[in-house]
Amino acid sequence: MAYPVTLIYGDGSGPEVVAAARKVVEATGVAIDWQVAEAGAAMIEKYGAPLPEETKASIRKTGIALKGPIATPIGTGFRSVNVEMRKTFDLYANMRPVKTYAGVDGKFSGIDLVVVRENTEDLYAGIERMVDEDTAESIKLFTRKGCERITRFAFDFAVREGRKKVTCVHKANIMKCTDGMFLDIAREIAKDYPTIEFDDSIVDAMCMRLVMFPEKYDVLLCPNLYGDIVSDLCAGLVGGLGMGPSANIGVDGAIFEPIHGSAPDIAGQNKINPTACILSASLMLAHLGEAKASAQVEQAVAKVLAEGKVRTQDLGGTATTEEFANAVVAAM
């Protein structure tokens, strides 16, 4: 029986990376019933909204989606479709693995950490207003429920995956109510997981430590805003955003996507690196219970990168998006 999966190609270079990931998934032999749906800026003219109701309905039905990047206007226009999806389907946990691969010219070796980011609250809740023409206000919203469930997700993940340490990232020295509550809850819940080491770090100090000795960290538990910033910083340590997969997970659904943007400047040129989307598809396979296929995909990506014969432009090569995908399939 095939797994039903909503497939969203997205904006810009999204269709290229999603097509590459789809090809790799199909090469594993795992049966997927792809249900193509639409989202993105182009949907406004067609449906009146960047996230059509038909697409929401598809995700509700399948419970799983693989999507490409979707552009978000800066300063004006519609709000982030990604944020809307996370709120609509209560995808409260964002998981972003960060790993060094042989053959990729990152700044470090030996990095293997995971950023676990709360995905529905904080400043990204989008509660803001103009107080007057010269003053803007945005509300930083934390709830006990939100803090507790993301903390337990991080610790449960650490136990399940054999991780050793969880580090809570915060700014509780300044924001004593919001970040203070987040840290207090993390400290309390940590007592329920005696086999997992727990510590915490102020976010600015965390950023410094990550660019000095990232190999010392394992699972980073972050509120929404800090998690977004820290995960991009970490991606820069291992070769760039093109290496960054992610999973958005809730009680009743999950959406998998690369963390990079839509790269409209190279859209349609068949040159964007599809690694992040392929690795996101690997996370999707693991979520579906197809652990062997998930490992097969990740190992094939690692082999292609280590050999260095097929590299996309961002990694110093000339290979096309399609050529990289084909190389991964061949390595499988």
Tell me how far apart the 2 most distant CA atoms of the chain are, in Å: 60
Q: What does the DSSP assignment read for 214-282? A: GGG--EEEE-HHHHHHHHHHHHHHTT-GGG-EEEEE-SS-EEEEESS---GGGTTSS-S--HHHHHHHH
- The answer to whether the CB of 98 falls within 8 A of the CB of 108 is no
Distance CA(16)–CA(242), nearest Å, equals: 13
Residue holding tokens 């992610």? 246
Catalytic (active site) residue 105: no
Distance CA(91)–CA(291), nearest Å, equals: 22
C-beta atoms surrounding 157 within 10 Å:
18
Is residue 118 classed as helix, strand or coil in its secondary structure?
Answer: strand
Name the active-site residue from 9, 92, 101, 124: 124
Name the active-site residue from 11, 122, 179, 228: 228
Which is nearest to 3 in space by CA: 23, 27, 31, 25?
31
Name the active-site residue from 56, 67, 99, 171: 171
Name the active-site residue from 107, 204, 292, 309: 204
- The answer to whether the CB of 328 falls within 8 A of the CB of 312 is no
Residue holding tokens 């070769």? 239
The beta strand positions in the chain, using DSSP E, are: 3-8, 32-37, 64-67, 93-99, 112-118, 128-132, 135-138, 165-170, 197-202, 219-222, 245-249, 254-258
Catalytic (active site) residue 228: yes
Distance CA(132)–CA(129), nearest Å, equals: 9
- The answer to whether the CB of 100 falls within 8 A of the CB of 94 is no
- The answer to whether the CB of 21 falls within 8 A of the CB of 277 is yes
Residues labelled as active-site residues? 124, 171, 204, 228
